[in-house]
Structure formats: structure tokens, C-alpha cells
């Protein structure tokens, strides 16, 4: 399976060394003029083609499924290659506020897209992307590690053994080195409302995904946030599921041990580590029975990228649609939570 990686930041460089082991052949690295040197260095490391313009890349690339029928074309861009580049998917790993536009362009070019979390800046953008992908007949998948971990699947399997759920909670609090810069007056994308940043959209996305993957869409959502300079640096989201309540804590301005806990009438479930990693699971029943399970993979991104390769290779549109619906619910919960805290992104103003 051939993949083009769009973005040269931390998450992209974390995935790149392992993609070949997960069934992917990296054929292109797409950066910007600003990151031109890094883009060329990464491309050389993986024997891939380098692009410093997304438009040039789109003008050159063809979906692998149609490449065999497409004529070899002469390059018209100075940075394009002499022949059409084919790929099975593009992995878009750029700042949050760019997700919508770059993904929409890729879909319109007939490309399958793996989109780094969060899916979009708000629910309206997410819905429009989903509609565009469905209409174009391409795969659109959110890279949210939480939902694909083997330990998370065991958590789902054991959920029925603890009886009626009454309380669920997850906490992902990690002090960010970018917070120091933020306090000093330097606003990086992670804390920039103009770029759809904030604790909820970063760490909180994992927490909300962890809950939605287990319990679906809540009846209501409320976010109590610590806000500085119009952005949330930490906060607590409460989700009302009617007959039980859930809490998601995310913080970038302070740290704490991560915890994931589900409490029921017959016992409880604990999952270690952050919801982005999905550590070992322990089942404890009221009668004293205790069981442990741990099938954690060495890299937290492995499970999702292996599944993405399978879905696209086997044309499993049903699996894609299931994941797409989950992404839309997560985007809706995140949007409602932000709105309750008065946090506004430029995308919200365009959607109104």
C-alpha cells in the first residue's frame, strides 16, 4: 500500500519510521516552503518524493486504483516529477485548523485520506468532509489511536461483566513544554484559538473518544475550562448518559497520573496509561474475582495504521462507515463542549 505523508511535524515523524512495518510504502513527503529542508531530508531518508507545495503534490498524484489506467503525463510544476505519482492514501498530519481544507482538496482529487485527530475544527466541518468522502466514494478515516488498541477492545468485551455502569472517568493531564512559551507570550498552535488548539482538542480528544467508543453519544455535554487568552489550557468535561455520568479531564498546564475507570454495580474496570496509549486492563468484580489483560503493542499507532491498510486494501466500506460515524459523534461532542465553555474558533464563525 502506497502512502503520502502530508506534514513534517512531531506526529508525522513519529509514524514515519514504522509505516513500512505496518504495510505502507511511503512514496511522498509533503511539506511547505518553510519546512523545505526538513521535507527534503525526510524524503531522502525514506526514498520518497519531496513536495514543498500541497497544490503541486495534488497536481501530480493519482489514486493507485486508477493509476494503471492513467497515461503518464509530463510534469508541469517545477517541483513535480516527470511522471504521475500514485498512492493508495494520504496521511494528513498538520495543525488542526488546516485539516478541513487539505482533506477536502484530497477528497476532490479522488484520494483516500487518513486524517490525524481531531477530525476537524468543529462538527459542521466534520459532517461536510464525511459527505464529500461518501459522494466521492473514497475512504476517510480518523487517526485516533484510542479506538484501535487491542487492550481497548478487551475493555469493550469486558464491559458487560461489571453490571449497570454508574460512573466512568478518564484523565489525560500532561504538562506541556509549550505552556511555558504560552505564558511568556509566544502562542504556538497547541494554544492558539485561531488554529483550533487547546487542551480539549488535543489531549481531550483522546478522552472523549475513549468514552464515545464505549458508550456512544451522550444526552448532554458540559465543559468547565480553565481559560487563558481565549483558549482552554485544562478543563473537565461532564457527559450525561441518562442512567450514568461520565467525566473527562484534560490538562496541558499541569500534570497528573493518567487514569481510566468504569464503575458498575457488579465491579469495575481500570485501564492503565493514557487513553491515547491504552495500557493494561484489570477487571475487578464485587466477589473478589480479578482478571488482567495486556496485549499492548510497542507503538501506539500500529493498530490503527494496520487496520487502515486492511480497510482500504479490502474495500471494506462498512468498517470505514462505522469509524466515520464514530468520528462524527466525537466531533459533535467536542463542539458542544467548547460551545458550553464559550471557546470560539474561526471555523465556528464561518459555520454560523
- Residues 6 or more apart whose CB falls under 8 angstroms from that of 347 comprise 97, 100, 120, 121, 122, 124, 125, 196
Does residue 105 register a pLDDT over 50? yes
3-class DSSP assignment, residue 322: helix
User: What confidence tens digit (pLDDT) does each residue in 305-351 have?
Assistant: 999 999 999 999 999 999 999 999 999 999 999 999 999 999 999 87
C-alpha cell at 316: 471494506
pLDDT of residue 77: 39
What value does the mean pLDDT take over residues 103-124?
98
Least confident range of 65-69, 143-147, 155-159, 223-227: 65-69
Distance CA 117, CA 96 (A): 8
User: What confidence tens digit (pLDDT) does each residue in 231-267 have?
Assistant: 999 999 999 999 999 999 999 999 999 989 999 999 9
Map grid coordinates 448532554 to a residue: 220
pLDDT of residue 350: 84
0.85 exceeded by pTM: yes
Amino acid at each position: 500500500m502506497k502512502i503520502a505523508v502530508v506534514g513534517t511535524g512531531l506526529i508525522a515523524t513519529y509514524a514515519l519510521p514504522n509505516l513500512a512495518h505496518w504495510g505502507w510504502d511511503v512514496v511522498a513527503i509533503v511539506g511547505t516552503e518553510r519546512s523545505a529542508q526538513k521535507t527534503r531530508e525526510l524524503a531522502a531518508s525514506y526514498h520518497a518524493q519531496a513536495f514543498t507545495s500541497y497544490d503541486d503534490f495534488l497536481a501530480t498524484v493519482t489514486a493507485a486504483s486508477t493509476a494503471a489506467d492513467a497515461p503518464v503525463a509530463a510534469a508541469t510544476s517545477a517541483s513535480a516529477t516527470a511522471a504521475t505519482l500514485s498512492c493508495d492514501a494520504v496521511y494528513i498530519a498538520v495543525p488542526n485548523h488546516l485539516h478541513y481544507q487539505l482533506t477536502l482538496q484530497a477528497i476532490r482529487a479522488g484520494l483516500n485520506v487518513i486524517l490525524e485527530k481531531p477530525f476537524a475544527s468543529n462538527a459542521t466541518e466534520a459532517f461536510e468532509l464525511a459527505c464529500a468522502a461518501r459522494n466521492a466514494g473514497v475512504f476517510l478515516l480518523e487517526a485516533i489511536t484510542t479506538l484501535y488498541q487491542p487492550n481497548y477492545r478487551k475493555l469493550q468485551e469486558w464491559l458487560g461483566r461489571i453490571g449497570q455502569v454508574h460512573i466512568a472517568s478518564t484523565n489525560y493531564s500532561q504538562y506541556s513544554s509549550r505552556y511555558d512559551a504560552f505564558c511568556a507570550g509566544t502562542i504556538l498552535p497547541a494554544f492558539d484559538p485561531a488554529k483550533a488548539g487547546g487542551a480539549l482538542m488535543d489531549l481531550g480528544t483522546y478522552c472523549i473518544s475513549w468514552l464515545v467508543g464505549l458508550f456512544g453519544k451522550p444526552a448532554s455535554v458540559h465543559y468547565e475550562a480553565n481559560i487563558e487568552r481565549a483558549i482552554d489550557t485544562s478543563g473537565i468535561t461532564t457527559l450525561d448518559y441518562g442512567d450514568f455520568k461520565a467525566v473527562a479531564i484534560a490538562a496541558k498546564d499541569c500534570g497528573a497520573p493518567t487514569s481510566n475507570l468504569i464503575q458498575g454495580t457488579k465491579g469495575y474496570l481500570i485501564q492503565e496509561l493514557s487513553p491515547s496509549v491504552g495500557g493494561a486492563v484489570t477487571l475487578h468484580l464485587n466477589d473478589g474475582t480479578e482478571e488482567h489483560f495486556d496485549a499492548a503493542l510497542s507503538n501506539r499507532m500500529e493498530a490503527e495504521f494496520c487496520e487502515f491498510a486492511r480497510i482500504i486494501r479490502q474495500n471494506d466500506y462498512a468498517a470505514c462507515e462505522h469509524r466515520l460515524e464514530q468520528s462524527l459523534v466525537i466531533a459533535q461532542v467536542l463542539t458542544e463542549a467548547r460551545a458550553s465553555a464559550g471557546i470560539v474558533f474561526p471555523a465556528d464563525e464561518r459555520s454560523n
